[in-house]
Amino acid sequence: MSPRTPEQYEEIRKHRRRHIMGVALVLFARKGFHSTSISQIAKAAKVSKGLIYNYFDSKDHLLEQLIVHEVQQGPDLLDILAQQTSDPYEQLTLLLDGAFQMIETDLTHWKLMTMLSLQEGIMQRMSSLFRKKVEDGMSTAIRIFERMGVSDPLVEAYLFGASMDGIFLHYLTMRDLDVAYPLAKLKKNLINRYRNHTTSNDEK
C-alpha cells in the first residue's frame, strides 16, 4: 500500500541494471554491438524495450557503461597476484595460472573488449580510461621481468602480453571453427620458457 522506500527502489534499480548489462554483454560479445538490437537484449533479459531506456540513455550509453564497468572491474589481476609472493618467477606462474583460468570464465569480457578495440570510434571516446589501464598493467609486468633479470624487461613485457592475447584470440577462433586448441600445453610451455629465463635471451 505504502510506496516502497527509496532504498528498495535503489536496490531494484541496481539489480535490474546489472541484469540488463549482463545480458547485453553476452549478446554484444557474441554477435557484435551493431548486430545486436535493443529488442534482442530486451527479449533475452525478459524486459520491455522501454525499460532499457529507463536505465540507459541510449544504446551507445549502454555500451559505454559496459566498458567502464569492465575496465574498472578487473582490479588489476596483475597487482593482486604480484602481492602473493615476492619471487618473480612464481609471480609469473601465478599470473599465467590466473590468466588461463580466466580465459574460460571471462572470455566473454575479453572478446567484447577486443572486438570493440578493433572498431574505430568506439574506444577512442574512452581512450584515457584505457591508456591508464594499459599502462598500469604494463608497469606491473615490467617490474616482474626486471626482477627476473631479463635484459629488456619492457620488450619482454610487451611480448608476453601479446602472446597471451594472441593465444586467447586463436583459442576463440579455433573454438568457433570447432578445432581443438592445446591451451594446456601452451601454458606449460610458456611457464617452462620463463623458468630460468634469466639467461635465455642475453647471450648476445
Partner DNA sequence: CATGAATGAGATTTCATTCAT
Partner DNA sequence: AATGAATGAAATCTCATTCAT
Per rule CB under 7 A, is residue 60 in the interface with DNA? Answer: yes
Examine residue 54 and tell whether it contacts a copy of itself (CB under 8 A): no
Which long-range contacts (C-beta less than 8 Å, at least 24 apart) are formed by 82-89? 82/140, 82/143, 82/144, 88/144, 88/145, 88/147, 88/148, 89/148, 89/194, 89/195, 89/197
Asked if 6 touches a copy of itself (CB under 8 A), the answer is no
Binding to DNA (CB under 7 A) within 26-55 occurs at 34-39, 47-51, 53-54
Q: Which is nearer to DNA, 64 or 152 (CB)?
A: 64
* Cell numbers found for residue 204: 648476445
**The entry of DNA, a copy of itself, none that residue 13 binds, CB within 5 to 8 Å by partner kind:** DNA
The Cα-based distances of 96 to 12, 75, 80 in angstroms read: 38, 16, 13
Is 26 near a copy of itself (CB under 8 A)?
Answer: no
Residues 15, 21: Cα–Cα separation, whole Å: 10
Give the dihedral sign, CA 91/189/97/22.
Answer: positive
Reduce the secondary structure of 75-120 to three states and give it as a string.
CCHHHHHHCCCCCHHHHHHHHHHHHHHHHHHCHHHHHHHHHHHHCC
Q: Which is nearer to DNA, 38 or 122 (CB)?
A: 38
Please, what is the minimum distance in Å from the beta carbon of residue 189 to DNA?
Answer: 43
Q: Which x/- pattern over 58-87 shows residues binding a copy of itself (rule: CB under 8 A)?
A: ------------------------------
- Judge contact between 68 and 152, C-beta under 8 A: no
* Closest CB 59 distance from DNA, rounded Å: 4
Question: Where do contacts with a copy of itself occur on this chain (CB under 8 A)?
Answer: 30-32, 34-35, 111, 114-115, 117-121, 123-124, 127, 130-131, 134, 152, 154-156, 158-159, 161-167, 169-170, 172-174, 176-179, 181-182, 185-186, 189-190, 192-193, 195-196, 200-201, 203-204
Interface contacts to DNA, rule CB under 7 A: 1-4, 6, 8-9, 12-13, 16, 34-39, 47-51, 53-54, 57-60
